[in-house]
Amino acid sequence: MPELSRFLGVVISMYYNDHRPAHFHASYGEFGLIVYLEDGSLEGRFPRRATNLVLEWYHLHRDELSRNWARAVRHEPLLPIPPLE
């Protein structure tokens, strides 16, 4: 699973050939979260503070995430996205 970004212990990744709708995966220790690109809805279990950081990052990088989803569908290399600072 290609890593797109990493910040404050959170790793953001996106799978090739993943199911629709468009989304990305976030991991934080033993926790996992799926964030859907269309509306930012969540699936999974994550600490509240880490969830807020992921959502802040998502809102800053929605366009880049959508472009990477399109690249993944075409089996093209994914582009890194800057971490949350």
The model's pLDDT over 14-58, given as tens digits with 9 standing for 90+, comes to 999 888 999 999 999 999 999 999 999 999 999 999 999 999 999
**Which pLDDT score, from 0 to 100, does residue 19 have?**
87
**To 5 degrees, how large is the angle CA 11–CA 73–CA 21?**
70
Contact indicator for 47, 29 with CB cutoff of 8 Å: no
